[in-house]
Amino acid sequence: MGTETLVPPKASRQAIFWQRFHRMDEAKFGVLLLSPTILILVIFLVIPILYAIAMSTQQVELTISPDWKFIGLANYTGLLSDNRVLDSIPRTLYFAFFTILVSTTLALVLALILNEPFRGRQIVRVLVLLPWAVAPVVSGVMWRYIFHPRYGLMDAILYSLGFIKQYIVWFDDPTVSLSIASLATAWKGVPFLTLIMLAAMQSIPESLFRAAKMDGANVLQRFRYVTLPHLRSILIFIIVLQTIVSLQVFDLIYTLTRGGPGEGTVVLNFLTYLNAFERLSLGKASAMAILLAVFIIVLSGISLSFTVQRRQKV
């Protein structure tokens, strides 16, 4: 029986539409399903990116005039002589470095602990996930209350234990403030990093540990020679991931310190926000954002190539 006999001689338009729909080849059907997503991403992602790139070559100072003026790469070269930008770079690097150090170390230790059997492990696994779900804005509020000079938990504990005679005003010092911001970022990041690390640890074959044990390796040696080599690529992945996250910190700073004391915690991304929405220098802010984006995409490219390598090895 040929297929043409299935088509009624006078098919309605609708019927023809459905017939075509069902006979569409795979590729066309796939493109059809993808098209709403592609449409959304083009309008609200691709076009805004191109717009931002265009804007970064213009002088747009809304406090002076609503007009745009093409100035080429002057916004980018101007960043090199902008003192606020230059001051924010060491802060950003310190913040990123400290965040990566704390979060990676804590995640590694926590993953090692959670990989050991102990009573109550299930409930601990659930509890340590909690910070992941807390919004950065709220975690900023929480850590503000931990280090608050009048009702901070940290001061209260130190005072009660007799370490200090007077409450310390933590947020008076820019470095201390930045470190607290790092701690808060690490606090939120650790659960996720622990999960990925734990998944990697559980994929290490048990037989390797047994073999190492038989050869007389102690706990530390087993960690050094069995666990760590297997975690190498995931550690690199995690460090890059945390770099990307910490370079983009904004919400947390907004409620934790608002950039204070003075401009002590104004990191690069926060300065971009200030330039855009307080000074209304849209051209310059776009240039800063684009530079950060380029840097992050390059970093991601590196991390991705590591991940792909890892997959091919397995």
Partner 1 sequence: MQMRSLRWARPTLLYALVALFLLWTLAPVLWIFVMSVQPEINYVAVPPQLNLQQVSLRWFWEMLSQQDIRDALRNSLIISFMTMVFCLFFGALAAYPLSRLNMPRKNLFLTLSIMARMIPSMVLIIPLFLLMRDLHLLDTYMALIITYSTFLLPYVIWMMKNFFDQIPYSLEAAARMDGCSRLGAIFRILLPSIAPGVVATAIFAFIGAWNEFLFGLILSTRNSMPIMVKISALVSASFHTDNSLVAATGVLAILPVVVLVFVLNRYIVRGLVEGVKF
Pick left, alpha or beta for residue 65 (phi over 0 → left; psi -120 to 50 → alpha; otherwise beta).
beta
User: From the CB of 173, what's the least distance to partner 1, in Å?
Assistant: 20
Q: Which two tokens stand for residue 126?
A: 């659930």
In the complex with partner 1, the residue whose CB is nearer, 10 or 241, is 241
CA distances from 170 to 149, 211, 275, 284 (A): 7, 50, 27, 33
| Cα–Cα dist 293/141, whole Å | 28
In the complex with partner 1, the residue whose CB is nearer, 47 or 211, is 47
The whole-angstrom distance between residue 301's C-alpha and the CA centroid of its chain comes to 15
In the complex with partner 1, the residue whose CB is nearer, 179 or 307, is 307
Strand pairing partners for 70? Answer: 58
Residue pair 188/139 in contact (Cβ under 8 Å)? The answer is yes
User: From the CB of 116, what's the least distance to partner 1, in Å?
Assistant: 6
User: From the CB of 6, what's the least distance to partner 1, in Å?
Assistant: 14
Question: What distance, in Å, lies between the first and last C-alpha atoms of the chain?
Answer: 50
In the complex with partner 1, the residue whose CB is nearer, 188 or 264, is 188
Q: Which two tokens stand for residue 217?
A: 């390796």
In the complex with partner 1, the residue whose CB is nearer, 7 or 32, is 32
User: From the CB of 97, what's the least distance to partner 1, in Å?
Assistant: 19
| Cα–Cα dist 275/281, whole Å | 6
Residue pair 136/188 in contact (Cβ under 8 Å)? The answer is yes
| Cα–Cα dist 208/214, whole Å | 10
In the complex with partner 1, the residue whose CB is nearer, 226 or 269, is 269
Torsion (CA) 137, 143, 145, 146 in degrees, nearest 10:
170
In the complex with partner 1, the residue whose CB is nearer, 1 or 9, is 1
Write the CB contacts of 70 (distance below 8 Å, at least 6 apart in sequence).
57, 58, 59
User: From the CB of 99, what's the least distance to partner 1, in Å?
Assistant: 15
User: From the CB of 129, what's the least distance to partner 1, in Å?
Assistant: 6
User: From the CB of 136, what's the least distance to partner 1, in Å?
Assistant: 7
In the complex with partner 1, the residue whose CB is nearer, 64 or 127, is 127
Classify residue 59 by its DSSP letter. Answer: E
User: From the CB of 120, what's the least distance to partner 1, in Å?
Assistant: 8
